[in-house]
Each structure stands twice: as structure tokens, then as C-alpha cells.
Amino acid sequence: MIGFLRGVLRDKQPPGLLLEVQGIGYEVNAPMTTFYDLPAVGETITLFTHLAVREDAHTLYGFSKLSDRTLFRTLIKVNGVGAKMALTILSGMDAGTFAACVQVGDTAALVKLPGVGKKTAERLVVEMRDRLADWDTGGGAAGTAASPSPDVANPVEEAVSALIALGYKPQDASRMVRAVDTQDVTTEDIIKTALQATVRK
């Protein structure tokens, strides 16, 4: 099992990033809560990782916070919640917010996440309430937006593509981005604002 990786950030196109470690490039999938914490391309970062092994693929998932990886591993143990949905949940709300929703049984907030229906939201509350009973729900926003990457030509298009990759329908992704002030902001800023607006409605 690969517990963490420390290396140079070579590319970041949500939800994927490329991390160079001693001359080897690791492709890592990460939630938006991790992207918000990333520095500019070319900087050194450390990611806590989870390696998912299937017959057809070995997939690495990376997290800037150990608590996010812990929640990710807890989520994928829930019946009907795979790695992709767990990543989407952690992109739509930070670990503390999710834990708070579970603790108070706020299924209405959970169903606003793409791919999470009413039954899944209820299952998450039932199966995870005890596991998250002592979770610290303080904290607030999930980090600071990353510096803009010089090779990103159109943050708006990148944001729409990222939201689609996270499970939103193309028309919904476009609508969410159109509702955001996209002038002089990074891709991560746009996605963060769009996701927060969706959860708060």
C-alpha cells in the first residue's frame, strides 16, 4: 500500500493531477477539497494516498489532509458508495461539513451532491452516524484556492469539464459555472464557488 507521495506537481486538471516522484510520474485522482490546497505547478507537495486495486485498473487517490483520506476510506465501505462517488462527496463539501450533515441527519444537503439520491443519503446517515459521532466538524472552508497555472488557457472551460468529471450533467455544469463571477479567477476558484452555491441552495 502506498501511504503517501511527496514530489513535484507537474499538472493539475481536476479531478486528476500528475505528481513526479524521483523521476516517476504518478497520476492521482483528487477531490476538489485537495485542489483548493494545491500550490502552483512546479511546487513540491505531499499527498496522503489510497490505492484502489481492481482487475482492470490500479487507481491512486490523493488527499492534502489525512482526515479527508480517512473519510474517503470510510465512505467506500458503505454499500453502494464507490470511489467515484466518495470523491464527488469530498468535492462537494469538506469532511467536517459532511460529518455535520451525517450527525444531524441532514439528507437534504446530501442529495444535492451528484449521484447521491434520497436512498443513498439515508444509507450514508444510518451507516456512518456512529463512525462519525466523534468527528470534529469545526473548521469551515477547505483551504485556500491555488495559484493559477500558466498553462490553463480557459478556466471556465476547465471548470465545466471538471464538474462533468465529478458527475454533473453537462448542462448543469455549464449553468453552475455561468452563475459564478469568472473574471480573473482560477479554475479551482470557479469550481469551489459553484459547488458551494449548489450545496447551500
Q: Which of 64-78, 98-112, 177-191 has the least mean pLDDT?
A: 177-191
Q: Report whether pLDDT(145) > 80.
A: no
Amino acid in the structure at residue 150: P
Mean pLDDT of 91-109: 88
Whole-model pTM: value is 0.70
Q: Report whether pLDDT(17) > 50.
A: yes
Mean pLDDT of 148-157: 56
Q: How many domains does the chain have?
A: 2
Q: Report whether pLDDT(152) > 70.
A: no
- Predicted confidence band of residue 144 (pLDDT cuts 50, 70, 90): very low
Mean pLDDT of 44-60: 91
Could you tell me the residue range of the domain that residue 52 belongs to? Answer: 4-63
pLDDT at 170: 79
- We report the CATH number of the domain holding residue 100 as 1.10.150.20
Closest by alpha carbon to 78, among 111, 122, 48?
A: 122
Residue 200 lies in a domain: no
Residue 187 lies in a domain: no
- Predicted confidence band of residue 139 (pLDDT cuts 50, 70, 90): very low
Residue 75 lies in a domain: yes
Residue 146 lies in a domain: no
Residue 18 lies in a domain: yes
Mean pLDDT of 35-63: 92
